[in-house]
């Protein structure tokens, strides 16, 4: 295990006030160093798979350290109990998304994603939908039948969901239509019926995506990549 105190000291030196201001607008929780994602990526390469370091970084409570924890943690050791604790403790949307990405690579990730997508907690639900999207991108874990049911559920629930859950659900709908070819038209039709979804980005630059062109563009991109491999 790397020296967690040394890593935390390094994170503090890499942070700056300008990024802290930006991250605060995106809802990051304090304490916060304001470390760039390029620097987090470099630290991830240096410490990838150091699960004990990840546990120590998470325990620190620092926002940047916790994001790095999700990047270096060993998915094979990321138990459902630990995943649940991290999801509940995330505290802000970006971190919840990274917890979801880690869950997608962990044993039983699809089961956790399904469970969390049912949560009444906005951030846990966000993590759940993120996990399901990542699993879809990887090409496994969810049947066409199940994905069709998620499309129906998103259409039914999105307008009444919490603010950031609506945002995550829309991206989940895009993923369902993009990575499940048999369901592309079903997702497009649902998106058209859903129509405009109200969304408050707060002080961020986030915008609710227009799902239909997004799905069409992603499907075309995937097809193009496959044709190049032939």
- Residues 11-32: tens digit of each pLDDT: 999 999 999 999 999 889 999 9
Please say which residue of 14, 40, 73 terminates a domain: 73
Please name which of 27, 20, 1, 12 lies closest in space to residue 167, comparing C-alpha atoms: 27
Please say which residue of 56, 73, 90 terminates a domain: 73
* Residue 12 forms part of a structural domain: yes
Find the domain containing 154 and state its range: 144-162+169-230
Please name which of 209, 207, 164 lies closest in space to residue 191, comparing C-alpha atoms: 209
* Residue 180 forms part of a structural domain: yes
Q: What is the pLDDT of residue 74?
A: 98
Q: How far apart are CA 157 and CA 141, in angstroms?
A: 23
How far from 227 is each of 84, 149, 176, 222, CA to CA, in Å? 40, 30, 21, 9
Q: What is the pLDDT of residue 173?
A: 95
Interval 184-197 mean pLDDT: 98
Label residue 214 by pLDDT band (50, 70, 90).
very high
Q: 20-24, 101-105, 187-191, 201-205 — which is least confidently predicted?
A: 201-205
- pLDDT tens-place string over residues 42-86: 999 999 999 999 999 999 999 999 999 999 999 999 999 999 999
Q: What is the pLDDT of residue 127?
A: 93
Are residues 151 and 230 located together in one domain of the fold? yes
* Residue 88 forms part of a structural domain: no
* Residue 126 forms part of a structural domain: no
* Residue 55 forms part of a structural domain: yes
Please name which of 21, 14, 22 lies closest in space to residue 46, comparing C-alpha atoms: 14
Interval 170-177 mean pLDDT: 93
* Residue 100 forms part of a structural domain: no
How far from 14 is each of 21, 119, 204, 209, 212, CA to CA, in Å? 15, 35, 23, 32, 40
- pLDDT tens-place string over residues 122-153: 899 889 999 998 998 887 778 999 999 999 99
Q: How far apart are CA 216 and CA 207, in angstroms?
A: 18
Label residue 230 by pLDDT band (50, 70, 90).
low
* Residue 23 forms part of a structural domain: yes
Average pLDDT along the chain: 93
Domain count, the chain: 2
Q: 13-17, 98-102, 134-138, 157-161 — which is least confidently predicted?
A: 134-138
Label residue 7 by pLDDT band (50, 70, 90).
very high
Q: What is the pLDDT of residue 229?
A: 74
Q: In terms of pTM, does the model score above 0.85?
A: yes
Q: Higher model confidence: residue 6 or residue 26?
A: 6
* Residue 94 forms part of a structural domain: no
Q: What is the pLDDT of residue 4?
A: 95
Q: What is the pLDDT of residue 105?
A: 95
Label residue 202 by pLDDT band (50, 70, 90).
confident
Please say which residue of 18, 43, 73 terminates a domain: 73
């Amino acid at each position: 295990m790397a020296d967690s105190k040394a890593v935390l000291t390094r994170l503090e030196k890499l942070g700056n006030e300008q990024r802290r201001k930006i991250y605060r607008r995106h809802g990051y929780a304090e304490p916060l160093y304001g470390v760039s994602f390029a620097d987090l990526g470099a630290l991830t390469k240096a410490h990838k798979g150091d699960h004990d370091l990840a546990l120590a970084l998470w325990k620190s409570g620092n926002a940047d350290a916790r994001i790095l924890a999700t990047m270096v943690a060993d998915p094979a050791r990321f138990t459902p109990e630990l995943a649940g604790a991290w999801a509940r403790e995330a505290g802000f949307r970006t971190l919840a998304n990274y917890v979801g990405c880690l869950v997608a690579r962990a044993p039983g990730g699809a089961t956790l994603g399904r469970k969390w997508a049912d949560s009444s907690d906005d951030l846990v639900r966000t993590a759940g939908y993120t996990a399901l999207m990542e699993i879809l991108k990887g090409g496994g874990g969810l049947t066409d039948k199940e994905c069709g049911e998620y499309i129906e559920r998103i259409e039914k629930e999105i307008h009444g969901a919490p603010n950031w859950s609506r945002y995550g659900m829309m991206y989940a709908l895009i993923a369902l239509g993009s990575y499940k070819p048999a369901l592309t038209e079903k997702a497009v039709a649902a998106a058209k019926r859903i129509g405009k979804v109200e969304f408050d980005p707060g002080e961020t630059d986030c915008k609710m995506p227009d799902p239909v062109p997004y799905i069409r563009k992603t499907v075309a991109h995937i097809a193009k990549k496959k044709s190049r491999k032939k």
